[in-house]
Chains A and B, each alone.
Chain A
Amino acid sequence: MSDFGYIVLLIAFLITIYGIVISVLAARRNDPALAASGRNAIYVVSALIVVATLAVVYMLMTDDFSNEYVASHSERALPMFYKIATLWGGQSGSLLFWGFLLAIYSSAMVAALWKKEPKRGPWLVATLLGVQLFFILISLFASNPFNRLWVLPDGNTIGAVFRPAGASMFIPADGTGLNPLLQNYWMVAHPVFLYLGYVGLSLPFVYATASLFSGELDDSWVKRVRVWNLLPWMFLTIGIILGSQWAYLELGWGGFWAWDPVENASLIPWLTATAFLHSIMIQEHRGMLKVWNMILAFLGFWLAIVGTFITRSGIIDSVHAFAISSIGPLFLAFIAVTFIGYLLLLWYRLPDLQSDAELDSLLSREAAFLYVNVLFVVAAFVTLFGTLFPIISEAVSGTKIAVNAPYFNKVDGPIFLGILLLMGVGPLLGWRRTSGEMLQKSLAVPVALALAVAGAVFVLVSRNWVPILAWSLAALVLGTILWEFYRGAAARHRSTGEGWLRALGGVMARNQRRYGGYLVHFGVVLMAFGMVGAVAFQHNLKSSILLNDSVELGGYTFTYTGLDQRKASNHDEVTATVIVTQGDRNVAVLKPSMNFYDSRAARDMGPTTEVGLHTSIIEDVYVVLNGYERGGELAAFEIFVNPLMLWMWIGGLVMVFGTLFALWPLKARAPRRATAPAPSPQPA
């Protein structure tokens, strides 16, 4: 099966090259027959990569330990569900999985756009295949999931596709097992969404590149690329949120975001993709920022690759880094080639990318968009800089330093607050210009709400300026959103005479993009509300508790009442029972546990913990079992009370819902440029 997969991938490699060559020829000669052949090539390549991926899945499911990847990442006792998920649990598997997702995206994109894009089409195919070629090369030559295990004459075991001289095949009795931290539902879902987002960020890049190559530089590309950016953006958002959820539930340190390089690597392209989805609106409405959009389309993709390089090549230590490997130089070459190539291409086309319009006023929506864009991109590069800084510092001073949460909170925090401020003000500004009085009028409600929240927090909750500022800015955004919903509904209510609710529904359905966007903003408000609460007002206590004894934290009493042991298929589970009460009220019975995995890899890492969690809209009560002694007479716990955590997850759901609302094809719309507004038709 290893050989089969390898051969399939090799054929895919050849067809990829054919597809690239034929598509470039087709574009240059303007030959539809060649173009069609190129298009067919991408379908064939996609199908072959799917088959190769299924071959790995098949080997994982059937415990084919002659395969190096299966032997070093899976084991017999692993539940079937996790055996399949092992595909993205290790380096070579996850890179093949990356190619698999790209194959699906490519085919979908080409199928959807082929008819609409006669000129860009062949270039789309060529660029998509170019990206795919990189992943095929990685899989074939640097990080091969189809390696088999061999015993060399000197007794060492190695992985290789072909039989090394004098070697004999080696099939271990069992695999070394999957990292126990990954044996968790969140961790199964999180990488899938993250990769869907990461891989999907290639699509805007591909579209931009095809536009630059073909010379079709009118604004149609930003209109058509919107879906292909928003969808990956949504997946990346889900992936990041699931990742925080995983960190929160599995790592047992009470937090959800550690500013770890791997986490940062997912946040950085998210920031530029967010900037992109805002700035294409300017181009769509006003024909401005064309070069900037070309750069952002590239940056999302490029930073995703850079992020993968940083976390996988071993240039910095990371807790969830994959094994240090040989893929670094290949990634670096790809990073350099795409960067130089794209900038040259863009430079060549610079004369064709002139703005159609001027900015009328600093008090306009496009000005706000411009500033928020800059802040997003700066936040991305500041985060990247902080992530890379240990390398710079060590290279210069020879001393190892750590860049942890306090640094990122200090440097990214103010930028994020600035973004919140613009989120509050921007939507109230009209395209082109807004008069001071008008802005004053529409800002009245949001500002009043923000001041009220600031005052209430100051008097009732805390004098800490961070939550006061962050929450009042969040309130400003909320006020803006409510105001916008109210105005829209009111306008429709007045003109159509519909009831308020119907009017609101109608106005939302008419303009899904706008109101979907506001829903996403509302999700951000909820997330900010929850995050700031959890970070600023967290209590924690490390305590060893005697059986039937109790401790208190944050108004709760925690009583430790027992310890049980249970055998699961590939691990032992030790579970403590902790009764949480608040005064006379029983709050919850929590069951924090420790899992001792059987596999060799897992024993080296020590046990993992499952937290005992009671969640409510006010606060989370979070208990971690860290150890026990004398058969459970004494157990060591770490207890956290995390205020408002639930709102973070609700906010995440609202963001996803808002994106879906904006994307869902309820009605075909034809957005028009504000530069030349037609005489406005009065809604009847």
Chain B
Amino acid sequence: MTTPDLNTPPKRSGRSGFLLLAGIAIVGVIMFAIFYYGILHPPSKRAESGQAPDFTMTTYVSDPLPPADLQPALNDLFGSSASSYCVKDVNNARPAEYDQVDIRLSDLKGTPVVLNFWASWCTTCKDEQPLLEQAWRRYKGRVMFLGLSHLDQDKNARAWLQCYNVTYPNALDRGGKVYNVYHVQGVPETFFIDANGNVVDYYVGAFPSAGVLEQYIQKALSPPTSQE
């Protein structure tokens, strides 16, 4: 249904018009490729399932520094009442079994893993840290708990662990390397890895209750076939 325009003189800039279209098409295809990748791998989906990426973490020396050294960091994190706040739960002493050891995720195969990303500057992490520690003490032996501190500093992370009496292995995630391969959206975020080393689920944000955390741990504990 085109009516060729008879008044138009023969082609003059046909080639440049075509070139323009081709240029725009190339730009469009590149953009589309980026978007398509983005849609397939949005931050929320990037670590959803499949084999959990392996990593090695060097855990903190659990032997606490003399409290006097940590006191400024404790005050900074928990206010001037830090010392009273932090000694609330001292009935469980820190075990020494994870003193400065290298833990590799793949070495833990056969045991489900709860991998928690946190930070000492994160307020909502304060709400869930006691829940995680309680769960750890309950599931110790059946489930491994690992904590990685993101965008954090040594003394602050130590003060935090000291204050919450955290007894599962923790480490500083230097440069956010593990954080990046797990495509974490923000702290706190927790990954649940089953005995075969597959990520079965993850939870963004602080756990609202011990019950919710429990549900997720159960997912990691149940045989992988039931997940399908």
Interface of A with B (CB < 8 Å)? Answer: 28, 215, 217, 290-292, 295, 306, 309, 313-317, 324, 328-329, 332, 335-336, 339, 343, 346-355, 358, 381, 384, 388, 391-392, 394-395, 398-400
Contact = CB atoms under 8 A, between A and B. Distances in A.
A351 B12 CA distance: 10
18 contacts: A215-B2, A217-B5, A291-B13, A291-B17, A306-B31, A309-B35, A314-B43, A328-B42, A329-B39, A335-B32, A343-B25, A350-B14, A350-B17, A352-B2, A353-B17, A354-B9, A354-B14, A391-B34
A317 B39 contact: no
B210 interface: no
A352 B39 contact: no
A315 B35 contact: yes
Contact of A400 (B12, B32, B35, B180): B180
Main secondary structure of the interface of B (DSSP, over half): helix
Interface string B163-181: 0000000000000100111
Nearest to A295: B24
Contact of B8 (A28, A352, A400): A352
Contacts of B17: 290-291, 350, 353
A395 B30 CA distance: 14
A384 B36 CA distance: 16
In the A-B complex, list the 4 residue pairs whose CB atoms are closest, starting with the nearest.
Answer: A315-B38, A291-B17, A314-B42, A355-B13
A354 B11 contact: yes
A332 B3 contact: no
Contacts of B185: 317
A314 B8 CA distance: 48
B44 A314 contact: yes
Interface residues of B, number: 37
A215 B185 CA distance: 50
A392 B20 contact: no
Contact of B21 (A314, A343, A358): A343
A339 B39 contact: no
Main secondary structure of the interface of A (DSSP, over half): helix
A315 B1 contact: no
B12 A355 contact: yes
A351 B11 contact: yes
Interface of B: 1-5, 8-9, 11-14, 16-18, 20-21, 24-25, 27-28, 31-32, 34-39, 41-44, 176, 179-181, 185
Contacts of A292: 20
Given A314-B44, A315-B42, A339 B28 contact: yes
A335 B28 CA distance: 10
Nearest to A214: B1
Given A313-B42, A381-B27, A336 B32 contact: yes
Nearest to A316: B38
A399 B180 contact: yes
Contacts of B1: 28, 215
Given A332-B32, A347-B18, A355-B12, 17 more contacts: A215-B3, A306-B35, A313-B38, A314-B42, A315-B43, A317-B185, A332-B35, A335-B35, A343-B28, A346-B21, A354-B8, A354-B11, A354-B13, A388-B31, A391-B38, A394-B180, A395-B41
Contacts of B8: 351-352, 354
A76 to B, nearest CB: 24
B35 A343 contact: no
Contacts of A295: 20-21, 24
Contacts of B25: 343
A346 B19 CA distance: 12
Given A292-B20, A335-B32, A395 B13 contact: no
A368 B1 CA distance: 38
B39 A324 contact: no
Contacts of B32: 332, 335-336, 339
Contacts of B38: 313, 315-316, 391
A291 B181 contact: no
A319 to B, nearest CB: 12
A352 B4 CA distance: 7
A332 B33 CA distance: 11
A388 B3 CA distance: 42
A349 B4 CA distance: 10
A316 B43 CA distance: 7
Contacts of A355: 12-13
Contacts of A391: 34, 37-38
Contacts of B4: 351-352
Contacts of B20: 291-292, 295
A295 B27 CA distance: 13
Nearest to A394: B180
Contacts of A350: 14, 17-18, 21
Contacts of A290: 17
Nearest to A347: B21
A562 B170 CA distance: 45
A398 B181 CA distance: 7
Nearest to B10: A354
A664 B161 CA distance: 68
